[in-house]
Structure 1
Amino acid sequence: MMETSVIIPTYQRTSDLQRCLEGLSKQYHVPDEVIIVVRDTDKETINFLKEYKTSLLIKETLVTSPGQVAALNTGLGASSGEFICILDDDTFPHPQWLKRIIAVFRSSEQVGGVGGRDWVIHESKTENGRREIVGKIQWFGRVIGNHHLGHGDPRDVDVLKGANMSFRRKAIEGLSFDERLLGKGAQVHNDMAFSLSVKRRGWRLVYDPDIAVDHFPAQRFDLDKRDMFNKEAYYNGVYNETLIMFDFMQKPFQRVICVMWWILIGTKHRPGLLQFFRLLVMKPNNQLVKRFTINLRTRFKANYLRKKLIRSLTQ
């Protein structure tokens, strides 16, 4: 078995992909194989890979279905490494990235997943900051990310970020990325769903800020345009999060508390009643109203559909 596989799903972002591959070729510990998952209709990337010269062992793998979930599952199926690393194509791994990943895995056989900091760069400006809490789900259902701002020593987390996450093959044997998630592109929160699946098996997930990549958020070719509000993309994100959290919270009282928090409080981006009125006083706008109404309706709809699916599978 190979030691390391790196999976890069990509779609029509050849300049970003080239930068990512250049970062991999400069690693202190070069990966044994790099699996690039390409949509079969993406002629631009297919032609780029035919011409691209590199010392890396590249395995081009085609996927026929749209969306990141299908691409990641295809990549998992094509991988051979003991440690399977996943990168976004718009990242640039620092030279010690893979060496550090291997070191953390080797530090304990209980470590099933490893992630690190992605330094987000907009043009020439880097998002700076320092956060102690990274990748945690609080008892009442609030999800804390902060993977791009974490600092300090390695620590156990609940969730790894898809732009920069790795898994031990033994820990993910038989697992796949959740095909129930909505979206035709990014399918947001697929990384959270996968991380929690590994965590439920009893494996540790470790976040180490020194496992670093530069992250240049690139153009998306689906409804989710990052900084532009889209009603359907927003709905998909709320739906996916609700589905995942209700799977994660096994006990009924946990789900009740989570729903109450979503309804009564919420967050800035997914406001409940308290956040809605707070933000309404600060800066009233139509987008806030849309977020509030979609958020509440989708929470209940996602839970209803989830229960319906479970009933159909158990009959």
Structure 2
Amino acid sequence: MVRSARAQEEIRRFLAIGAVQVAELDLDGEEAVLSPGPGSPPVTHGEVFVLVRRQGRPVGTLLGHIPEGADARAVLAARARAECPAVERPAVEAVATGAVAAKAAAADAVATEAVAADAAAPVEPPYASVVVATRERAGQLARALDSLLAQDHPRFEIVVVDNAPVTDETRELVERKYAERVRYLCEPVPGLAVAHNAGLAAVRGEVVAFTDDDVVADPRWLTELTAPFAADAALGCGTGLILPARLTTPAQVLLESHGGFAKGFTPRTYDPADPPVDEPLFPFTAGRFGSGANMAFRTEVLRSVGGFDPATGAGTAARGGDDLYGFVRVLAEGYRLRYTPYALVWHHHRETWRDVETQAYGYGAGLTAYLTAVLVNRPALLPAFLARLPRGLAHARALTAARETRGGGTPGDHDVRTHPWPRRLSRLQRRGMVYGPVGYLKARRALRASVRGAG
């Protein structure tokens, strides 16, 4: 295959991307504590991506460089304190300062809401269930389960859903290593949404949390994610922060340099009764709320809306969109959604260029597939959708545009863009968007055929 000069240059740039270390820096107290990220070696010289914490809570990230022979802890602590003084104040004030610095009226409202919520007295988190859908990845699953069993939440259960397995590897792992602490379910119909629905039907918790088999959960993840449900009876959904567990390949670094899965460091509540003024496409830009690797729902609410559309998600022709569908369906029923950066999971990003190509196409397809699913299952939303369509098209063009580098790197400014986003990936995202509705309809037909076959 003959590639254009532009394509060859994009590939050259991609292959030249170097590895970045991952670390955590806790500035609580006089002495900063620097530690490697989950599964990472101790920090040495070179580039390092750092999560900055205050009193154990995430408050921002930075991208730093450690000269050879330098004290990494001292260099990074000085950088964090100089570029984001707010991390030296109480965590609540750090949230407010970051929002005010945005210089937008909407951000002022966000800061006020965040401070009020975080200043409230701690509440006992509700009994929770954690659902992990998996397929033939026992090694990754064991790592995830170990982190989930180390949670500080007082009352929770873990349910593993083995989706369309071809071997007994997952079942044997759970029975051998986790039998007393983890429940095992087998769901023979392929598809992430189908697996999540199987878990939803089986859980006992008041709140059901979902995460993936390729994450490492922070010890306070489940507590931070579920506690807001006890404080707000109208809360239907919660999401949290997702950061990279490793940045060792060009694909992982490229994805994270354009924001990855993170949604910022300001807690925020999305209320359909009071739509956010800075989100004109609300609630249809559901990707702004969070991602499926870190989400929770009030169990009775998610069940009442029918769970996830089984024709969406990985493992179906729709390629994705099951999480976004869940967010919008809950918001459409009038429930609120809470994003908290304190609920953290570390995600193992895909590793190769081929992986990123597949992911770009899948994200585009999942976006329009979930919108199709929402309108098919709740036609009453069509007028609101059509009213937002012109802006939505402009948003889609911006979302899939080739993006050049951009400076930054202070805590809270996660989308540093240290590497350009290749045009090849932009084109794949747009092709995926065109395909999404077709993929969703194909997935619905396949699902009906499988149900008839099973009958």
Q: Verify the 8 A CA contact 2:226 2:296 in the aligned structure 1.
A: no
Counterparts of 1:170-249 in structure 2, within 5 Å, are 170-174=300-304, 175-181=306-312, 184=315, 187-217=319-349, 226-229=355-358, 233=362, 236-237=365-366, 239-244=368-373, 246=375
Query: In the alignment, does 2:212 pair up with 1:70?
Result: no
> Paired residue for 2:152, among 19, 23, 28?
28
More displaced 10-residue stretch of structure 1: 197-206 or 283-292: 283-292
- Quick one: structure 1 residues 11 and 257, their matched pair in 2 at CA, closer, same or farther if it must change by over 3 Å? same
SS at match of 1:76: helix
**Long gaps (5+) in structure 1:** 132-145, 276-281, 306-315
Q: Verify the 8 A CA contact 2:372 2:437 in the aligned structure 1.
A: no
- Quick one: structure 1 residues 294 and 163, their matched pair in 2 at CA, closer, same or farther if it must change by over 3 Å? closer
- Quick one: structure 1 residues 50 and 229, their matched pair in 2 at CA, closer, same or farther if it must change by over 3 Å? closer
What's the offset of the Cα at 1:240?
0.6
Q: Which residue of 1 aligns with 2:415?
A: none
Alpha-carbon separation, structure 2, partners of 1:103 and 1:304? 38
Q: Verify the 8 A CA contact 2:329 2:374 in the aligned structure 1.
A: no
TM-score by length of 2: 0.51
Percent identical among aligned pairs is 20
Q: Verify the 8 A CA contact 1:119 1:149 in the aligned structure 2.
A: no
What's the offset of the Cα at 1:257?
4.8
Query: In the alignment, does 2:246 pair up with 1:118?
Result: no
What's the offset of the Cα at 1:51?
1.8
> Paired residue for 1:163, among 275, 290, 293?
293
Q: Which residue of 1 aligns with 2:119?
A: none
SS at match of 2:160: strand
SS at match of 1:267: helix
What's the offset of the Cα at 1:293?
5.8
SS at match of 1:205: strand
Matched residue pairs, number?
Answer: 276
Q: Which residue of 1 aligns with 2:220?
A: 96
More displaced 10-residue stretch of structure 1: 67-76 or 101-110: 101-110
Alpha-carbon separation, structure 2, partners of 1:167 and 1:268? 30
Q: Verify the 8 A CA contact 1:105 1:111 in the aligned structure 2.
A: yes
Alpha-carbon separation, structure 1, partners of 2:217 and 2:379? 31
- Quick one: structure 1 residues 153 and 287, their matched pair in 2 at CA, closer, same or farther if it must change by over 3 Å? closer
Q: Verify the 8 A CA contact 1:196 1:248 in the aligned structure 2.
A: no
What's the offset of the Cα at 1:37?
0.1
More displaced 10-residue stretch of structure 1: 37-46 or 284-293: 284-293
SS at match of 1:202: coil
Q: Which residue of 2 aligns with 1:311?
A: none
> Paired residue for 2:267, among 142, 146, 153?
153
Q: Verify the 8 A CA contact 2:360 2:426 in the aligned structure 1.
A: no
Q: Verify the 8 A CA contact 1:154 1:207 in the aligned structure 2.
A: yes
Alpha-carbon separation, structure 2, partners of 1:300 and 1:25? 39
Alpha-carbon separation, structure 2, partners of 1:54 and 1:258? 49
TM-score by length of 1: 0.71
**Long gaps (5+) in structure 2:** 1-125, 272-282, 284-288, 403-419, 443-455
- Quick one: structure 1 residues 21 and 258, their matched pair in 2 at CA, closer, same or farther if it must change by over 3 Å? same
Alpha-carbon separation, structure 2, partners of 1:53 and 1:64? 22
Name the Cα RMSD after superposition. Answer: 4.0
Alpha-carbon separation, structure 1, partners of 2:150 and 2:421? 47
Alpha-carbon separation, structure 2, partners of 1:283 and 1:207? 27
Alpha-carbon separation, structure 1, partners of 2:421 and 2:298? 46
